[in-house]
Amino acid sequence: DAKTTQPPSMDCAEGRAANLPCNHSTISGNEYVYWYRQIHSQGPQYIIHGLKNNETNEMASLIITEDRKSSTLILPHATLRDTAVYYCIVDLGAGSYQLTFGKGTKLSVIP
Amino acid sequence: EAGVAQSPRYKIIEKRQSVAFWCNPISGHATLYWYQQILGQGPKLLIQFQNNGVVDDSQLPKDRFSAERLKGVDSTLKIQPAKLEDSAVYLCASSSSGYGNSYNEQFFGPGTRLTVL
């Protein structure tokens, strides 16, 4: 079973920031938080990952709370192409290199 | 860089028939995964290969599903005989994890949509 909880759906106005929350209250100290997204009819795509510190790349920012029990993925200026299902995943760690997907959050960017 | 290739993209079969899917991972990626994604759910890992060896096939229904990765490159996933509940998208992914890449970035193919009638 997935170790994360996400809202099933969210809307965001085009051009505004999209903030996608994720709860992972049972995360262990050496487990990373990963975010992937899946655009309709495509395979999932890696977005970002983090352990303790906030992370930013060209796609998004990841904010992890100090107790690591939750995180937020931020798309700073959402576009219609960001409409997708977003998956928050806690890595099994120990070098297993496996991903356990939940149902994710369906983000709809509204014009 | 070429991505993960899968074929066919779509397949329709009747129950009890057999079907095979093919995957060509990104060049140099040692790890290959097959996932099953049922409509409305996230992908579920079926099998993980490291080169041509199986790392984990604990969720593969071995009475009807089989997979191989000859020469550590291409892979095929077979279902024989198919059941109605096998209708899903079958995704292949590859990664270089474990070989100078400490994080779990998997690259996914477009998937094969299987419909079992």
What confidence tens digit (pLDDT) does each residue in B19-61 have?
999 999 999 999 999 999 999 999 999 999 998 899 999 999 9
Verify whether the Cβ–Cβ distance B42 to A101 is below 8 Å: yes
Token digits of residue A4:
């994360």
pLDDT of residue A65: 95
Does the pLDDT value for residue A94 go beyond 70?
no
Does the pLDDT value for residue B95 go beyond 70?
yes
> Using H for helix, E for strand and C for coil, what is the string for chain B?
CCCCEEECCEEEECCCCCEEEEEECCCCCCEEEEEEECCCCCCEEEEEEECCEEEECCCCCCCCEEEECHHHCCEEEEECCCCHHHCEEEEEEEECCCCCCCCCCCEECCCEEEEEC
pLDDT of residue B100: 47
Q: How far is A101 from chain B (nearest CA, A)?
A: 5
What confidence tens digit (pLDDT) does each residue in A38-71 have?
999 999 999 999 988 899 999 999 999 999 999 9
Provide the chain B residues 57-96 that lie in CB contact (below 8 A) with chain A: 91, 93, 95
Verify whether the Cβ–Cβ distance B108 to A44 is below 8 Å: yes
Q: How far is A97 from chain B (nearest CA, A)?
A: 6
Rounded to the nearest integer, the mean pLDDT of chain B is 92
Q: Give the integer Cα–Cα distance in Å for A15 and A111.
A: 9
| Cβ contacts of B97 on chain A, cutoff 8 Å | 97
Q: By the 8 A CB rule, do B32 and B69 touch?
A: yes
Nearest by CB to residue A46, choosing from B48, B98, B106, is: B106
Rounded to the nearest integer, the mean pLDDT of chain A is 92
Q: Give the integer Cα–Cα distance in Å for B6 and A54.
A: 35
